[in-house]
């Protein structure tokens, strides 16, 4: 961790005034829940995250973004307490990560950076109409009150039909025109 903190300091002293977000990555979740217990997270990871995230915010006026795939709702309160500002990718198809559930549970405590379109089932295997419906529904649920950055749940893979990618962006434009 000492080496990481030294590199973080060098990085933020060089570019800190020019950036808005520092991203940290780990994968704590699976499709059905977190990979580690809450107690283990609190003992081994939370103190280190708090130290890193506080340090980053002392060095530059940045927000902290954490990448963690999977279902991590049980860990989010402790991550927020440690200084987390935003989470990505927001796998809304995982257990306990449904858009309505996480938005009502965490309201204005955190920004959700992702969750705009399901990349495991709908984007690769759905029709353009199904993609449109998924995007519009997720925007309706996730945008009220702010705290949402539209992004499909994860990277767009090679097997996604191009017309579904177009449908996703068209749905965003449609939603923006209506709101």
Residue partners of 16: CB distance under 8 A and separation at least 6:
59, 60, 61, 62
Beta strands (DSSP E) in the chain are 21-25, 63-67, 86-88, 111-113, 148-149
Model pLDDT, residue 153 = 80
Beta strands (DSSP E) in 8-147 are 21-25, 63-67, 86-88, 111-113
Determine the Cα–Cα distance for residues 76 and 109; give it in Å rounded to an integer: 10
The sign of the dihedral angle between the CA atoms of 162, 172, 86, 80 is negative
Q: How does pLDDT run along the chain (179 residues), one tens digit per residue?
A: 899 999 999 999 999 999 999 999 999 999 999 999 999 999 999 999 999 999 999 999 999 999 999 999 999 999 999 999 999 999 999 999 999 999 999 989 999 999 999 999 999 999 999 999 999 999 999 999 999 999 988 889 999 999 999 999 999 999 999 99
Q: Do 157 and 119 touch, CB atoms closer than 8 A? A: yes
């Amino acid at each position: 961790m000492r080496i990481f903190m030294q590199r973080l300091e060098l990085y933020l002293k060089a570019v800190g005034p020019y950036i808005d977000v520092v991203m940290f990555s780990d994968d704590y979740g699976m499709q059905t829940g977190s990979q580690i217990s809450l107690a283990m997270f609190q003992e081994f990871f939370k103190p280190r995250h708090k130290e890193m995230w506080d340090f980053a915010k002392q060095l530059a006026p940045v927000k902290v973004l954490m990448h963690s795939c999977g279902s991590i709702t049980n860990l989010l309160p402790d991550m927020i307490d440690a200084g987390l500002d935003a989470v990505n990718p927001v796998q809304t198809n995982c257990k306990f990560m449904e858009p309505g559930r996480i938005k009502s549970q965490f309201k204005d405590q955190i920004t959700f950076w992702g969750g705009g379109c399901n990349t495991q089932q709908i984007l690769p295997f759905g029709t353009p109409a199904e993609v449109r419906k998924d995007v519009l529904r997720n925007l309706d649920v996730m945008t009220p009150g702010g705290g949402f950055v539209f992004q499909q749940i994860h990277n767009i893979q090679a097997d996604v039909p191009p017309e579904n990618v177009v449908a996703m962006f068209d749905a965003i434009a449609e939603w923006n025109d209506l709101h």
